[in-house]
């Protein structure tokens, strides 16, 4: 084998190894769901495959269209036992969802903004973009809120979802 062929095979080997390590890291990453829930959750990408998958075609800041796929946020909250649907009334309307990213960035949503009995918008916890796992710096989990005029709540690298009561 020539030195050029050897370098080429080494390059291919390390490229494949890097892709495998990246996929393993994506599969090992998890997101926690806690707070005012009946059943706290700690979910991995593989766990989310058991949920109904949804997708949204949206345009990014550069006006390029992408398709994000994942699970509706309401389905995850319902699995955790959060008050939703017909029970979401009275004091429960003072609950909100705090979502935190790896870098400390935080966004909030009221439960009514997420619940399909109050809105037609479907907020998703995305794990894929254009048919591929979300890239580093964006995933492994990302919130997509397609009806927001600004993408400030399209939080990247989501690490936790916490349901809380608003306090004065």
- Residues 96-107 have a mean pLDDT of 97
Better-scored residue on pLDDT, 160 or 147: 160
In whole angstroms, what is the distance from residue 136 CA to residue 96 CA?
Answer: 28
Comparing CA positions, the residue from 147, 81, 79 lying closest to residue 119 is 147
Write out 83-144 in H/E/C secondary structure.
CCHHHCCHHHHHEEEEEEECCCCEEEEEHHHHCCCCCCCCCEEEEEECCEECCCCCCCCEEE
Q: Which domains does the chain have, with CATH numbers?
A: 30-165 (3.90.420.10)
pLDDT for 27 equals 56
Check pLDDT > 70 for residue 20: no
pLDDT tens digits, residue range 26-82? Answer: 457 899 999 999 999 999 999 999 999 999 999 887 889 999 999 999 999 999 999
In whole angstroms, what is the distance from residue 68 CA to residue 124 CA?
Answer: 9
């Amino acid at each position: 084998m020539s030195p050029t062929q050897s370098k080429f095979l080494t390059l291919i080997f390390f490229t494949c190894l890097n892709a495998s390590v990246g996929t393993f890291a994506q599969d090992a990453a998890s997101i926690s769901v806690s707070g005012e829930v009946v059943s706290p959750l700690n979910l991995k990408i593989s766990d989310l495959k058991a949920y109904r998958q949804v997708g949204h075609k949206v345009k990014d800041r550069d006006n390029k269209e992408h398709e994000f796929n994942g699970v509706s946020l309401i389905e995850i909250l319902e699995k955790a036992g959060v008050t939703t649907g017909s029970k979401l009334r009275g004091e429960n309307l003072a609950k909100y969802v705090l979502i935190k990213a790896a870098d400390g960035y935080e966004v909030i949503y009221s439960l009514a903004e997420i619940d399909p009995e109050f809105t037609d918008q479907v907020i998703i916890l995305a794990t894929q973009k254009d048919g591929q796992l979300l890239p580093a710096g964006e995933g492994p989990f990302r919130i997509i809120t397609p009806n927001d005029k600004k993408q400030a709540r399209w939080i990247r690298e989501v690490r936790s979802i916490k349901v809380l009561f608003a306090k004065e």
